């Protein structure tokens, strides 16, 4: 076999310890089936503290809002309710879930597309509404007036920021109101002063670029001034999510993999993907075309560190850090991390059903799951699963690296868990498990469905008590310890 090209997942202590307990993982899948989702509620609490530490370092007030859409888990949301974090919900169901998990309305904000039922429940209970457009404001104000609801606290979400002087322009978004139309928005807010109270100005940009985000943040501060000039008293600048996750343990592996992938597309080495799939790259008469459509899986400046970097960027108009700009104006800073707040918070397990070699000599591993159960490929995140050998498997001296394509349980040509050859330290055998680590953010349950009447994964919460791993069904988890229960 060719030299293995590993993409080893980055594992912190808690997740590493879980994956280092094969007996526990095999007992769980034996009892609850495959695929199986595991979440680690204590990790999300730790992640909240890491974000809060950035606020503290820059002496900023404001709040961490968890973007609920990253994971449907109840355990994560209930554990979060027991921390200082707030929550960002984007559907009626998520709002009901947050309320029922222990979040009081003053700790909830509604973002994204909203229906009238969501707006009514938000206004009825006192949940903040992050308004997408003037139309949404009219709808909300109308509900408040007709149902005699308390004044609704609102933020306005803006888009299409432009920086003065430089050429940084933020990417077009289908959400938010172009900042150029702020005057119209403030006119409407003035008209609805009896039913709404403006508490903040917001953006959310799905981009990696720090410069783009700095432009938007500074744009928000300018809008805050305009609001004040018009007699409004908003306090918060809400900079949304998109802080990102560092998925890989080793940057050199990522460099080696992507350059070998390029060579494979150009035909300079044996293929690394099923039928020459190029992840956006292609060869035209020996010339490389296209662009690599992958998440930058090795991303050391991500999560809280990315926030720290953003706040340290110097403001184009002031020449001082953005954090200083916020501090001087006494603005609160709200952040809405989704993916980054569930970093290291879970894994998806799947049983190996079959291992076979194609006539071309390729190893194909069929798993008891399908591509929608762990949507790494769909999101362009390349990261190896961890092989969890079955208990009693003969101990193999040394390693026996194997390159394999992972396929799913759907009667569908396209059901590939990975369209690339994944290198594993040993050739898997029937009954082994593959653990897809660090998949709590979007990969675990965002796309899962019942195609072919296949079961969707059960979800459990795992936690350590007295040095060993314990678990319960996700829906049965509450953030109280066993000793408290029996007291």
Ligand X SMILES: *Cc1c(COP(=O)(O)O)cnc(C)c1O
Output 9 or 241, the one with its CB closest to ligand X.
Answer: 241
CB 377 within 8 A of CB 47: no
112 binds ligand X (CB under 6 A): yes
Residue 148 burial (C-beta neighbours within 10 Å; 0-12, 13-18, 19+):
exposed
339 binds ligand X (CB under 6 A): yes
Which of 35, 41, 219, 338 binds ligand X (CB under 6 A)? It is: 338
CB atoms within 10 A of CB 211: 17
Q: Which stretch binds ligand X (CB under 6 A): 162-170, 277-285, 288-296, 330-338?
A: 330-338
336 binds ligand X (CB under 6 A): yes
Output 132 or 432, the one with its CB closest to ligand X.
Answer: 132
DSSP labels, 313-381: SBPTTTSSBHHHHHHHTT-EEEB--SGGGGTT-EEEEEEEEEEEE-TTS-EEEEESS-TTTSTTTTTT-
What residues are paired with 287 via a beta bridge? 284
Q: How big is the site for ligand X, counted in residues (CB under 6 A)?
A: 16
94 binds ligand X (CB under 6 A): no
Give the C-alpha separation, 414 to 398, whole Å.
35
343 binds ligand X (CB under 6 A): no
Q: State the number of CA atoms in the 13 A half-sphere of 137 facing the CB.
A: 26
252: phi then psi, degrees, rounded to nearest 5: -65, -35
Largest CA distance in the chain: 75
Q: Which stretch binds ligand X (CB under 6 A): 114-122, 234-242, 343-351, 423-431?
A: 234-242
Output 208 or 353, the one with its CB closest to ligand X.
Answer: 208
CB 443 within 8 A of CB 360: no
Which one, of 334, 342, 332, 345, lies nearest residue 109 by Cα? 334
Which of 192, 204, 334, 389 binds ligand X (CB under 6 A)? It is: 204
Q: Which stretch binds ligand X (CB under 6 A): 4-12, 295-303, 333-341, 357-365?
A: 333-341
241 binds ligand X (CB under 6 A): yes
Give the C-alpha separation, 108 to 127, whole Å.
5
Q: How far is the CB of 157 from ligand X (least distance, A)?
A: 7
177 binds ligand X (CB under 6 A): no
Q: How far is the CB of 90 from ligand X (least distance, A)?
A: 6
Q: How far is the CB of 241 from ligand X (least distance, A)?
A: 3
Q: How far is the CB of 342 from ligand X (least distance, A)?
A: 8
Give the C-alpha separation, 232 to 199, whole Å.
9
Q: How far is the CB of 341 from ligand X (least distance, A)?
A: 7
Of 58-87, which residues contact ligand X (CB under 6 A)?
67, 69-70
Point out which residues bind ligand X (CB under 6 A). 67, 69-70, 88, 111-112, 204, 240-243, 336-340
């Amino acid at each position: 076999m060719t030299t293995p090209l590993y993409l080893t997942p980055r594992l912190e202590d808690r997740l590493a310890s879980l994956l280092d307990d094969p007996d526990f993982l095999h007992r769980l899948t034996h009892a609850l089936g495959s695929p199986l989702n595991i979440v680690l509620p204590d990790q999300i609490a730790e992640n909240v503290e890491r974000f809060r530490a950035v606020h503290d370092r820059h002496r900023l007030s404001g709040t961490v809002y968890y973007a609920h859409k990253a994971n449907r888990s109840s355990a994560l949301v209930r554990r979060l309710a027991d921390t200082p974090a707030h929550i960002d919900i984007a559907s009626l169901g998520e709002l009901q879930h947050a309320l029922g998990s222990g979040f009081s309305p003053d700790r909830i904000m509604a973002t994204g597309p909203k229906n009238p039922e969501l707006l009514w429940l938000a206004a009825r209970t006192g949940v903040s509404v992050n308004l997408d457009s003037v139309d949404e404001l009219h709808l909300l104000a109308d509900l408040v007036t007709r149902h005699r609801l308390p004044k609704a606290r609102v933020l306005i979400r803006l888009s299409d920021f432009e920086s003065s002087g430089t050429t940084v322009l933020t990417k077009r978004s289908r959400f938010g109101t172009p900042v150029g139309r702020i005057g119209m928005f403030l006119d409407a807010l003035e008209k609805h002063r009896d039913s709404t109270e403006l508490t903040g100005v917001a953006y959310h940009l799905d981009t990696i670029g720090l410069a783009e985000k700095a432009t938007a943040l500074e744009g928000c501060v300018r809008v805050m001034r305009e609001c004040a000039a018009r007699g409004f008293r908003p306090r918060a600048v809400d900079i949304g999510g998109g802080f990102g996750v560092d998925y890989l343990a080793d940057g050199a592996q990522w460099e080696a993999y992507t350059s070998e992938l390029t060579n494979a597309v150009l035909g300079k080495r044996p293929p690394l993907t099923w039928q020459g799939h190029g992840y956006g790259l292609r060869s035209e008469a020996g010339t490389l075309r296209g662009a690599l459509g992958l998440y930058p899986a090795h991303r050391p400046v991500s999560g809280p560190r990315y926030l720290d970097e953003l706040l340290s960027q110097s403001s184009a108009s002031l020449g001082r850090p953005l954090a200083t700009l916020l501090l001087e104006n006494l603005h609160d800073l709200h952040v809405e991390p989704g993916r980054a707040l569930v970093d290291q918070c879970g894994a998806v397990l799947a049983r190996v059903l079959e291992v076979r070699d194609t006539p071309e000599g390729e190893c194909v591993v069929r798993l008891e799951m399908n591509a929608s159960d762990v949507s790494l490929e769909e999101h362009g995140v390349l990261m190896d699963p961890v092989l969890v050998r079955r208990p009693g498997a003969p101990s193999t001296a040394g390693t026996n690296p194997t390159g394999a394509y992972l396929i799913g349980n759907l009667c569908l040509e396209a059901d590939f868990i990975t369209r690339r050859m994944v290198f594993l330290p040993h050739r898997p055998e029937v009954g082994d498990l593959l653990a897809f680590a660090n998949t709590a953010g979007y990969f675990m349950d965002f796309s899962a469905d019942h195609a072919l009447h296949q079961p969707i994964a059960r979800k459990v919460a795992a936690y350590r008590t007295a040095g060993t791993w314990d678990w319960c069904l996700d829906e049965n988890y509450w953030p109280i310890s066993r000793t408290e229960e029996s007291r």
